Amino acid sequence: DAEITQSPRHKITETGRQVTLACHQTWNHNNMFWYRQDLGHGLRLIHYSYGVQDTNKGEVSDGYSVSRSNTEDLPLTLESAASSQTSVYFCASSRVGETQYFGPGTRLLVL
């Protein structure tokens, strides 16, 4: 069955380290999104992509980057992790103009 997966599911890192969170979907969706979820803020868009080689900043993109080298993957990189980036991260994908489907999430703790 087609699906969207995230890895790792849990990650503990130290301030200043580079961290990469993986997102992989097998639906062949053009659109992929990264969100963070924090208490009191709901889901906030970090970065998104409409296809290979396309990336765009969301509302909370500072300190994060993404790259899209193929249709299936959109890794999220924290260049220098900060305690403020402790959060739960969700990846989602969709066809053009269609519903977004979410992955199971990655819980990140930055010490």
Partner 1 sequence: GENVEQHPSTLSVQEGDSAVIKCTYSDSASNYFPWYKQELGKGPQLIIDIRSNVGEKKDQRIAVTLNKTAKHFSLHITETQPEDSAVYFCAASRSSSNTGKLIFGQGTTLQVKP
Q: Which residues bind partner 1 (CB under 8 A)?
A: 31, 33, 40-45, 48, 50, 58, 90, 94, 96-105
By C-beta, is 15 or 50 nearer to partner 1? 50
Task: Write down the least CB distance from residue 84 to partner 1, Å.
Answer: 19
Q: Which residue has the tokens 């199971």?
A: 104
**Cβ atoms of residues 23 and 34 within 8 Å:** yes
Within its chain, how far is the Cα of 57 from the centroid?
Answer: 12
Residues 48, 31: Cα–Cα separation, whole Å: 7
Greatest Cα pair distance, the chain, in angstroms, is: 39
Task: Write down the least CB distance from residue 28 to partner 1, Å.
Answer: 15
By C-beta, is 14 or 54 nearer to partner 1? 54
Task: Write down the least CB distance from residue 96 to partner 1, Å.
Answer: 5
